[in-house]
Amino acid sequence: MKFKQNYIFVISLILLSSFTIVQNGEKDSDIKLITTQTNFEVGSRIVLKFSSQGEIKPLLYCSNSYGSTLISPHNESGTLEYQIPENISIKIGVLNWKLLNDEHSITGKINITPKAEVATMETYIGPPSIESGGADYTMLVVVPTDSLDNPVPTNTLVTAKNQFLDYEETHDIFTKNLIAYRNINSKKETGRMLVSSESLGTNSKEFTINVSAAIPTNFSISATRSHGYADGNQITTFTTSVIKDQHKNIVSDGTFVTFFITNSKGNILKTTGLTLAGVATSKMIHPDYADSWKIKAYVDGMSESNSISLDYVQVIEDFEVTFSENNREITIGPLQSFMQQMIPDGLHVKLNIYKGNTFVTTLTKTSFNGYVHFKLKPAIFDNGTYSFSIETAGLTKEFKNKKLW
Amino acid sequence: MVGLNKNIMRAILIASYVVLIGLIVSALSGIFSYLNTGADRSKMLHTEIQKIEQYLPKIVWEPLDNEGRIMDAQNLSALQNDYLDAWYVKQIAYKTNKIAGIKDYYTDSSRENLYSFIALNKTEKTTIEATTLSHNPTLEFYSEDGQLAVVTDRNVVEYKRVFKADALVLETTETSTYKIIFLLEDGFWRIRHMVKEDNAIYNPEQKIIATDSLNIKGINYYPQATPWNTFGDTFSTDTISKDFKIIKDAGLNSIRIFVQYEDFGKARVKPEMITKLRQTLDVADKHNLKVVITLFDFYGDYSLMNWTLDHRHAETIVNALKDHNALLAWDIKNEPNLDFDSRGQDIVIAWLDNMIDLVKSVDDKHPITIGWSNTQSATLLKEKVDFVSFHYYEDLDKLDEAIKTMKTEIKDKPLVLQEYGLSSYRGLWNPLGYTEEDQAEYHKKIQNILAVNKMQFMSWTLYDFKDIPTEVVGRLPWRKRAQQHFGFINQNGEPKPAFQYISKE
């Protein structure tokens, strides 16, 4: 049944088409394009007119930048009128059309030309932050569009304007490839650059570009401390000079500075700081034994400082050790600083314990009120003969063959 | 009576209770499973989403010489992907008059232009099926911050089918030049402005390929053990070489082989398949045989949205083999007229027409043909092909007349009888079938007709096969059996009586 219907449909289509072909054959020679205008300004009413004697009303296919459609005509006293829909006539570009009357149908092209009018200044600028010194630049891209959201004609004048400190500049640029652009280079100074543009009386809004300092140049460092004693308690502060780029602009706040401290053993201590107004500071606690430091600072990969050196004077010349409670309590102290005052709490004292010649363990304590007490519990340390070495403030004392019981 | 009513009432109450509980349970489980979907951590990064290749028109970038920032390969590839996707979603939108997908590839203001077209076409019952076949973009400008690009896409070949109330009213191929501004928004390169700068009707130059020297005396070839699967895992150049020697020694000069669309990997043709195909041609060359390659077999889609994929399939194969010495001709599609009923004649013809253009654009030296399954269809596209091929399995008495009829319509191009043969199956499923002697008689007779009409030919086929894949003739055993016995050599490898008429009377 379905088959039958299909056959009937196909046959009727063939019959129908043969009729229409015959009809067209008679009539198509009569259809002629009347409209001679091929350039229309965007937004204007576009009507394609054809002269026609017969009654047929062929469809008109037309296609523009965004899509295609079919238009039905109005037939008025021998004229076929095709009005181009508004969504097509408001877009610039080529509109190609074809009258669907028969195989030798009429085709044509219409140019919908842009208006010399700017309604919107679509502006893009980037990157938003550039480096001073004149080499780095930001790019202003302007897409001026008319009130129907079409790009403006090629070679439309756009004025690119920018203000920076005392400079105010305007440059004429012209649209090409639907856009206009200009590279805006930085100056030697840092600051905020304001950018805008104007075309055919329409102005863009204001854009801000941040011009930051270029990479830092070499700088110097200094150290301040309350005294030069190695008391393991006071703090030495390192400070950079004002770090600047090659045009004497102070580097951006937050520039990361690393201080490398090399001590007399060749070990490296590291401390870091961030710049504020070009100055970075960083601190390091004093050593607790006599030492000599070499300090150098770096902004990683960009610049470095001079090298300075600091010496720390030994404060504890000697210390007393007393054994009590069956030699199971070891008291170290008094530990006295440079004015014979008790050393501030927290000085490290290390006790190495040997049984015979065999190393047993190391106990570490910090000083409190100038003393350190070690208690060797019988549960851990059996009765017997032990040797001890005590290290603090870079000094070592040894006690051999102490009997614990 | 009262008791019965009470029981009925009870039954209804219990039943409704059961149904109610069932509904509540299913609603709760629905809510529970809904709450369990979604926020799956393993899917958070969308790593499982693979790019599906759905639109691959030929795209050739002009050398990069743009203003602004220097373009790099990765960004260019991202731009190209989004640009082609923008075309793809547009084609889908105009085909269905729905706006799905458009907002990903067009900015807020430019998508309005598409929406207005869709609204207009929807009310006017106009639908447009379209595809673009080639693009030649030039990057004009790339902004310093990498957020804006201007591209001129020259001579975009667009094929369109325009429907009014579901009736096809126009089929057109145009070339257009577009200037496009892209903005990088939310990781998508979106079209901000698109301006058609030029348009013309597409008329590719028809290069005539001389076919005077053609003298095809050939055979359709499948290996005996793996019919319809020449290039599978069991592919062996030794088997092929042995078979080609038999063919050459029998006095034939050419073979016809088939490229199966899915087996070869569709749009991304598998390199190993190309290798096997090339090895086959190498062997043929060694035996001084020429090869007709059927580019599409086991293919029946033709839908406009997949044309670009089909084109990449053909392009890859043609490009790889166009300089091979053994290559004789490209046969675009095996028996496309069998798809007229299911797919529509106009779309099949349009597909073939455009495929011929594509193959010619890649290889303008080797002739092109289409393997029509009957004599009636042979005149279709006769002006596009370089020689006309048709298949004939009907009554031999009518062949002579059919050839003469065709020759009156096709005057200036050679005719090739590309498939013919007779099954020598007589058995359980067809007790009145032809014998091997009948088959020999058939081949003797047809050789006579071919000689009288000076026809070129390719017979079906060298071997009787043991296993016929279901895709070929379906599951029906009488069809499979018949298909097994078309060969000149039987299943045991012995020549059948027909073998003496394989190349001559």
| DSSP secondary structure letters along A164-222 | ETTEEEEEEEE-BTTBEEEEEE--SS-EEEEEEEEETTEE---EEEEEE--SB--B-EE
Distance CA(A14)–CA(A18), nearest Å, equals 6
A298 touches chain B (CB under 8 A): no
- Tokens for B330? 């490209």
A94 touches chain B (CB under 8 A): yes
Is the domain of B182 the same as that of B315?
no
The CATH number assigned to the domain holding B109 equals 3.10.450.240
A166/chain B closest Cα distance in angstroms: 26
* B377 within some domain: yes
**Count of domains for chain B:** 2
Cβ of B126 within 8 Å of Cβ of A93? The answer is: no
- Among A113, A143, A170, the domain boundary falls at A113
Is the domain of A192 the same as that of A271?
no
- Among B201, B226, B245, the domain boundary falls at B201
Cβ of A67 within 8 Å of Cβ of B94? The answer is: yes
Q: Which residues of B116-152 are buried (b: 16+ CB within 10 A; e: fewer)?
A: bbbebbeebebbbbbbbbbbbbbbbbbbbbebbbbbb
Q: What is the largest CA-CA distance in chain B?
A: 101
* pLDDT of residue A201 exceeding 90: yes
Distance of alpha carbon B234 from its chain centroid, rounded?
25
Taking a C-beta distance cutoff of 8 angstroms, is the pair B360, B368 a contact? yes
Q: What is the mean pLDDT of residues A194-214?
A: 94
Is the domain of A327 the same as that of A303?
no
Cβ of A69 within 8 Å of Cβ of B121? The answer is: yes
* B113 within some domain: yes
Q: Which of A69, A93, A100 sits opposite B117 (nearest CB)?
A: A69
The residue whose two tokens read 């050398």 is B63
Cβ of A181 within 8 Å of Cβ of B109? The answer is: no
Is the domain of B164 the same as that of B261?
no
Which residues in A lie closer than 8 A to residue B112 (C-beta atoms)?
Answer: 149
Is the domain of B176 the same as that of B300?
no
Is the domain of B425 the same as that of B458?
yes
This model's pTM is above 0.90? no
Residues B124-176: tens digit of each pLDDT? 999 999 999 999 999 999 999 999 999 999 999 999 999 999 999 999 999 99
A contact residues 61-80, partner B, Cβ 8 Å cutoff? 61, 63-70, 72
The CATH number assigned to the domain holding B317 equals 3.20.20.80
Q: What is the mean pLDDT of residues B76-100?
A: 95
Is the domain of B269 the same as that of B372?
yes
Cβ of A70 within 8 Å of Cβ of B117? The answer is: no
B264/chain A closest Cα distance in angstroms: 36
Is the domain of B121 the same as that of B253?
no
Is the domain of B310 the same as that of B442?
yes
- Among B137, B169, B201, the domain boundary falls at B201
> Looking at residue A116, what is its pLDDT?
86
Q: Which of B114, B169, B195 sits opposite A178 (nearest CB)?
A: B195
Q: Cβ–Cβ contacts within 10 Å for residue B492, how many?
A: 6
Residues B457-483: tens digit of each pLDDT? 999 999 999 888 888 888 888 888 889
* pLDDT of residue A269 exceeding 80: yes
Residues B242-263: tens digit of each pLDDT? 999 999 999 999 999 999 999 9
Is the domain of A96 the same as that of A15?
yes
* pLDDT of residue A18 exceeding 50: no
Is the domain of B226 the same as that of B197?
no
* pLDDT of residue B47 exceeding 70: no
* B169 within some domain: yes
Which residues, other chains included, contact B331 with Cβ-Cβ below 8 Å and sequence gap of 6+?
Answer: B256, B292, B293, B294, B295, B368, B369, B370, B371, B389, B418
A141 touches chain B (CB under 8 A): yes
The CATH number assigned to the domain holding A147 equals 2.60.40.10
A115 touches chain B (CB under 8 A): no
**Count of domains for chain A:** 4
Distance CA(A383)–CA(A373), nearest Å, equals 20
SS3 A161: strand
Cβ of A91 within 8 Å of Cβ of B145? The answer is: no
Is the domain of A91 the same as that of A133?
no
- Among A291, A314, A337, the domain boundary falls at A314
Is the domain of B148 the same as that of B225?
no
Is the domain of A16 the same as that of A92?
yes
Distance CA(B470)–CA(B467), nearest Å, equals 9
Is the domain of B176 the same as that of B226?
no
Is the domain of B178 the same as that of B251?
no
Cβ of A63 within 8 Å of Cβ of B174? The answer is: yes
Cβ of A68 within 8 Å of Cβ of B116? The answer is: no
* pLDDT of residue B428 exceeding 70: yes
Which residues in A lie closer than 8 A to residue B68 (C-beta atoms)?
Answer: 139, 181
Cβ of A181 within 8 Å of Cβ of B141? The answer is: yes
Is the domain of A124 the same as that of A187?
yes
| Enclosing domain of residue A44 | 2-113
- Tokens for B259? 């490229």
Is the domain of A250 the same as that of A306?
yes
Which candidate, A394, A361, A396, A178, places its Cα nearest to that of A289? Answer: A394
A311/chain B closest Cα distance in angstroms: 52
Radius of gyration of chain B (CA): 29
| Interface test with chain B among A14, A179, A182, A183, by most B beta carbons within 10 Å | A179
* B129 within some domain: yes
Distance CA(B455)–CA(A319), nearest Å, equals 121
> Looking at residue B143, what is its pLDDT?
96
Distance CA(A157)–CA(A202), nearest Å, equals 11
- How many CB contacts within 8 angstroms connect chain A with chain B? 124
- Among A273, A288, A314, the domain boundary falls at A314
Residues A118-162: tens digit of each pLDDT? 999 999 998 999 999 999 999 999 999 999 999 999 999 999 999
Residues A351-391: tens digit of each pLDDT? 999 988 899 999 999 999 999 999 999 899 989 899 999 99
Is the domain of A296 the same as that of A351?
no
Q: Among residues of chain B, what percentage have pLDDT more than 90?
A: 80
Is the domain of B279 the same as that of B408?
yes
Q: Which of B172, B183, B195 sits opposite A65 (nearest CB)?
A: B195
* pLDDT of residue B503 exceeding 80: yes
| Enclosing domain of residue B429 | 217-501
